[in-house]
Amino acid sequence: MTGIILYGPPASGKSTITRTLTALDSRLQLLRRLKAGEGRRAEYRMTTYAHLQQLRSRGEILWENTAYSSVYAVDRPELSRLVEAGKVPVVHLGQPDAVKALLSCTSMAWLVVSLTCPRPVAMARIEARNTGDDSARRLTWDQTAPLAVTDLKIDTSAVTPEWAAALIRSAHQVIAGGASVRSVAPGR
């Protein structure tokens, strides 16, 4: 099984491209991270801090971070559930250490896709969301470090979500077939 990591700062296109990917291929499914806290609920499995602590004590948290007054976590049980159901997990991450953690703590292969766009485009997208935490998201955008190594790098302001999703899906098929996409990927 080969999963897909979509890496990027807020408003880089992770959610839009995931919706397009899952429309192209029903085997692809967003791994909805756990979230304890307030704010946006879409794309998350809401939980409690106590439940996160239980998972943490059992070694079931693969990665967690704190942002926007909430705790977010990628958990092994959800990843296992998707894989056992024959789904290809699509994971949204925004920290280089999160990518390293996922690559090192699972036996899965991963296609790592870095999504980016110019800051003014991201700021307009953040404002359009109207989530009430624009300044925190702008700060997070500014603090998101680029990945040193990726399989694909896509500027989401330069292509349509459909084009990006088709490229990601093609690269995923190459990697899932045992080949390396690094020799054919743009932005390397």
Domain encompassing residue 131:
2-32+83-176
Decide if 62 is inside a domain: no
User: Can you give the pLDDT at residue 179?
Assistant: 63
Average pLDDT of the segment spanning 178-187: 48
Question: Is the per-residue pLDDT at 110 higher than 60?
Answer: yes
pLDDT digit string (tens) for 47-101?
Answer: 999 999 999 999 999 999 998 889 999 999 999 999 999 999 999 999 999 999 9
Decide if 73 is inside a domain: no
Decide if 69 is inside a domain: no
Tell me the CATH number at 101: 3.40.50.300
Decide if 111 is inside a domain: yes
**CA separation for the pair 140, 132 (Å, rounded):** 14
- The number of folded domains in the chain is 1
User: Can you give the pLDDT at residue 133?
Assistant: 75
CB 107 within 8 A of CB 2: no
Decide if 28 is inside a domain: yes
Question: Is the per-residue pLDDT at 186 higher than 50?
Answer: no
**CA separation for the pair 14, 62 (Å, rounded):** 20
